[in-house]
Structure formats: structure tokens, C-alpha cells
Amino acid sequence: MGLPNPGAEEFVDEIKIAKEGKAPVIASIFGSSLEEFAIVARIVEAGGANAIELNLSCPHVGKVGLQLGQDPALVRDVVRRVKSAVEIPVIAKLSSNVSNIVDVASSAERGGANAVTAINTIRAMAIDVHVKKPILANVIGGLSGPAIKPVAMRCVYEIYESVKIPIIAAGGVKDWEDAVEYFLAGASAVQIGTAIKTYGLEVFSLVTSGIDGYMKANGYKEVLEIVGKAHGS
């Protein structure tokens, strides 16, 4: 889990290391209040982050048990608060554990988000048949990887129909076909998480070279040409 981390000040050292790779660095942050979101955002901006992604899938104080990302008005307020605190682009990462992800995406857009990321992990659980108890001490955890790709695909597709800001897809990307499928659904970029554990860091170059091959074979120059192409007739 990324949330139980040593804190934003410590993390600034990691941003510096990441920046040595010369690629843009997007810092993922969360806070337990609007003010804390703003404070953490300023710390990672000063630390060199090129953009900020707001993790909105954490429990929020006041409404115990509810995730912040399930409350469209609060999502809009968090985005607005962070946008007023920093100059760099702000991306709202959405949870699919909601009845209508489009409402939340639209709220993030209204708050001034420069992009949305869809999706975070899906609430799930497993039971050990021998111990006859839930496998996780927390009982419920977050499901990631290929199993959630069809759900994330549906979210990206639906959001694309309703918001104008770019969408970053996350959920089960393991090869270039997955990435291209997300582009066609409406994503302008993809994230890779779980596949790093399955395939190692090589997965990044395999996915990007596969996308290059697909683009060349189909006569496209840039990914934007295929973003959202699965929509319409």
C-alpha cells in the first residue's frame, strides 16, 4: 500500500531520485482534510513534482467508512482547494466503488482538475477455506490487475462521453493491447501497477514498443489520433 508511507517531506527525496530518470514525475498525495491536501500538495510541488494526482479513495474524517471519492461535492472541493494551492497540473484519481463514476468525474472537472485517473482498486475479499476466516486481517482489501480491466474500461468509456479533460486509465494493463484498448475507450495515457509485480520493470518498454508497432502498422503518428475512437458509429 502506498498510503502508509513516511510522509510528504520524506517523499521529496524520492521525487528527486525519480527525476533523475528525466521523465515527468507525478506525485500521488492524500490528506485527511482540505487543508492537509493543500499542505501536502505544496510540499511535493516545492519538491519538484511535475504534477499531482489526488488519491480520493481514502476514508474521510467526519463520514466514517465512506470514501472521499464517493462524495462528488467533496471531490470538487478537494480539487478546487489543491488547484488554488499549486501551479502544477492536478489530476483526480477516481474510485469505481461508486454508483455513478461519471458524476464524480464531472465534479472533479468542475473543481478545475486538469485530468482524471480511472480507476483505483475495487473493494474485494477472499476467505481461507482451511482457516475458515477472511485472508486479509482487514477483511476487505483492494483488487487490482487483469480482473478489474473490464470494469476500468467501462469507467473510462463512460467518463469519456461526459467530461472534456483527459483521462488516464489504470487497471490491469499488462501489454500493448490493453493500453491501445484503453486509448480507444477514451484514455490519453495508461498507468501500470500490478503488472510490474508479474512481469518486472521490463513491462514498460514492452508496452511502449508494442504501442509504437501498432501505431506504425496502422499509419498513426500519435496516440491522440486513436483516443476515443471506439465511440460513435
Q: Is 84 exposed, middle or buried (0-12, 13-18, 19+ CB in 10 A)?
A: exposed
Number of residues binding to ligand FMN, judged by CB under 6 A: 19
Position with the least CB separation from ligand FMN? 2
- Among the listed residues 12, 19, 28, 39, the single contact to ligand FMN using CB under 6 A: 28
| Min dist. Cβ of residue 205 to ligand FMN (A) | 16
What character string, x for contact with ligand FMN (CB under 6 A) and - otherwise, covers 173-212? x------------------xxxx-----------------
- For ligand FMN, which stretch binds (CB under 6 A), given 78-86, 141-149, 203-211, 225-233? 141-149
Give the up-direction half-sphere exposure of residue 67: CA atoms within 13 A in the CB hemisphere. Answer: 20
Integer Cα distance of 77 and 126 in angstroms = 35
- Start-to-end Cα distance in the chain: 41
- 155 lies in the binding site for ligand FMN (CB under 6 A): no
Residues with active-site annotation: 58
- Estimate to the nearest angstrom the gap between the alpha carbon of 61 and the chain centroid: 22
Integer Cα distance of 161 and 144 in angstroms = 24
What character string, x for contact with ligand FMN (CB under 6 A) and - otherwise, covers 31-70? ------------------------x---------------
Integer Cα distance of 158 and 185 in angstroms = 9
Longest distance between any two alpha carbons in the chain, whole Å: 56
Positions touching ligand FMN (CB under 6 A) are: 1-3, 28, 55, 93, 120-121, 144-145, 148, 170-173, 192-195
